[in-house]
Structure 1
């Protein structure tokens, strides 16, 4: 497999937000309900997106504040970053500022050096816990949009938007690479900019101010 099919992804966020659960759902199709603080774990998995097979190299990083200083410089070299927060814990969204500030500095470095900019997707995890929700879908979406990031809501427990989130990352990395080579606009599709409504599942439209299951389905929102 050539380098164009290799995509490195760093998963980051506050401790306990479900980073490892999301990663293991993708890699092993398992859900881990016991919280075991991660310092750093690496995984690899292949996925076919838009008819092409990609080799994904995932780094599941430490979320606990006392471990953040252990972030290796290599983590910032990734093609993409998945910033995860817990929809039942507002602080976990606030804590993404720490990771986003480092990513923004890395973006500037790459722009100055003429490299491909990293892709950033924000994921509001645990969307199956609607009764305990404290961060609305609108709040998560606006946080991501204000920083020019993509946005999804996920549930590692119920396997909601796990595959879709990583497929979106792959598509955006591929488009960023094409943009750098061609100098033209990103290749976009309706599915990447509009909610994806599955058959026999009712969802709310983005921005309707409701949270009664609006993203508790397979929805790509931005």
Structure 2
């Protein structure tokens, strides 16, 4: 009798949105999850939602985690650095302090990050994301943004060798680049084989067990002849 092989359920891969208050993290999360613009009041503490993302004929379970930007919640949000697979340091072109806040969180993240669920040698996908690119005025010049990201890249190389921090401009309101942003994160994670390792081990183990069982049955039949 043939036996079906059942794959274990994928674990959730957390994508963390972090940054100062008022930059549109909740709106960006809603755009990614619900594919529409929906305003919310400021997040209190942490809010997260799950998303089943289709990629290479797989259903990958992502957890989009939106964190509060207010000072009093920084100690709470720090605990969510653990076991995340990607982090988006969010800022906005209409919020003067937001780029400095994003830089602060990027430095804090590197010092406190750990992930016990990732493959050995894994490094999280780290992005600087400027929201509200639909607005005509941007208080940050590209040179200022580049200098900030380059400074963080150099800082990261002193620790685990994180490199090539990518910069995205998005609009949660208009949906600009939000699909590309999520696709980029998933592709970068896939390059590090985070989606296949656990499943492949489970499949191999089941196949080996079935082979061993078939050998035992064949051996027993042979002895009885």
Asked if Structure 1 and Structure 2 have the same fold, meaning a TM-score greater than 0.5 normalized by the shorter chain, the answer is yes
The TM-score with structure 2 as length reference comes to 0.68
The 3 A distance-change label for structure 1 pair 94 and 79 is same
Is 2:149 aligned against 1:133? no
CA contact (8 A) 1:42 1:58 kept: yes
Segments of 4+ moved more than 6 angstroms: none
In the alignment, what sits opposite 1:210? none
Q: Note the C-alpha offset of 1:3.
A: 6.5
Q: Note the C-alpha offset of 1:115.
A: 4.4
CA contact (8 A) 1:119 1:173 kept: yes
From 154, 173, 193, the equivalent of 2:189 is 173
Unaligned runs of 5+ in 1: 182-222
The 3 A distance-change label for structure 1 pair 81 and 139 is same
The TM-score with structure 1 as length reference comes to 0.69
In the alignment, what sits opposite 2:82? 76
Q: Structure 2 CA distance, aligned partners of 1:87 and 1:102?
A: 22
The 3 A distance-change label for structure 1 pair 74 and 86 is closer
SS at match of 1:36: coil
CA contact (8 A) 2:81 2:109 kept: no
In the alignment, what sits opposite 1:119? 125
Q: Structure 2 CA distance, aligned partners of 1:5 and 1:75?
A: 17
CA contact (8 A) 2:21 2:42 kept: no
Q: Note the C-alpha offset of 1:4.
A: 6.2
RMSD: 2.7
The 3 A distance-change label for structure 1 pair 87 and 50 is farther
In the alignment, what sits opposite 2:45? 39
Specify which structure has the bigger relative contact order, considering alpha-carbon pairs within 8 angstroms and separated by 6 or more residues: 2
The 3 A distance-change label for structure 1 pair 109 and 38 is closer
Is 2:16 aligned against 1:10? yes
In the alignment, what sits opposite 1:98? 104
